[in-house]
């Protein structure tokens, strides 16, 4: 079992600020938030004593609360408290998106409370490519032209993961060629 300074936690809450186009799925009108991946938040070894809920806040963030009505410690073999499945809208493009976790509070079984600093990370979305965003930075610029030319010239073979090859087919003809460079430059110049 993993140990940490938070081994005596019995309550926790935090707010998630999700990027546009990414959400937590709902079930029967409620956010679908799961317990720890290994399912070992327990009370007496057989019955679960913790509840995990989520609710939309006025500022658009989603507050996740993990609470024990009997002040029982969280126990988890994985060290995780919750697992939250996220959903990316079908019109969101592949890339990295910011995720902010704020208003983080932990309560220990001795009723003392810790407040943690806000934290941020990124969410990786895989799926639809933004035509022309060859370097995967979620914007179309001259840097994408350079990346596209590198693909066409075969200079991407040492680090192919740096480029989105689907996005390199800017004109959608199934090939990556100089015609895609022209299409990409037209996008940048606002001609498409």
Give the model's pLDDT for residue 136: 83
Question: Which pLDDT tens digit goes with each residue over 110-143?
Answer: 678 888 999 999 988 877 777 899 988 878 899 9
The larger pLDDT score, comparing residue 53 to residue 2, is at 53
Q: Which of 63, 58, 123, 51 is nearest to 94 (CA)?
A: 123
Question: Which pLDDT tens digit goes with each residue over 3-56?
Answer: 444 566 778 899 999 999 898 887 777 787 765 443 334 444 444 556 778 889
Residue 3 neighbours by CB under 8 Å, 6+ apart: none
Classify 113 as helix, strand or coil.
Answer: strand
Determine the average pLDDT of the residues in 59-79: 74
Q: In whole angstroms, what is the distance from residue 83 CA to residue 59 CA?
A: 23
From the options 2.60.120.10, 2.60.40.680, 2.60.120.260, 3.30.300.30, give the CATH code of 9-125. 2.60.40.680
Question: Which pLDDT tens digit goes with each residue over 152-166?
Answer: 998 876 666 778 888
Q: How is the chain split into domains, by residue range?
A: 9-125, 142-188
């Amino acid at each position: 079992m993993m140990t940490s300074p938070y081994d005596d936690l019995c309550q926790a809450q935090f707010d998630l600020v999700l990027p546009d186009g990414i959400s937590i799925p709902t079930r029967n009108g409620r956010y679908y938030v799961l317990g720890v991946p290994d399912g070992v938040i327990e009370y007496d070894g057989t019955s679960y004593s913790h509840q995990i809920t989520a609710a939309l806040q006025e500022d658009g963030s989603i507050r996740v609360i993990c609470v024990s009505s009997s002040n029982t410690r969280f126990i988890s073999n994985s060290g995780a408290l919750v697992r939250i499945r996220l959903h990316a809208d079908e019109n969101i493009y592949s890339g990295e998106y910011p995720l902010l976790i704020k208003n983080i509070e932990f309560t220990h079984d001795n009723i003392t409370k810790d407040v943690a600093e806000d934290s941020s990370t990124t969410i990786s979305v895989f799926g639809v490519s933004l035509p022309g965003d060859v370097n995967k930075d979620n914007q179309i610029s001259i840097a994408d032209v350079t990346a596209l030319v590198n693909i066409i010239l075969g200079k991407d073979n040492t680090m192919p993961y740096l480029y989105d090859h689907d996005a390199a087919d800017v004109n959608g003809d199934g090939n990556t060629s100089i015609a895609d460079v022209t299409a990409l430059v037209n996008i940048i110049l606002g001609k498409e």
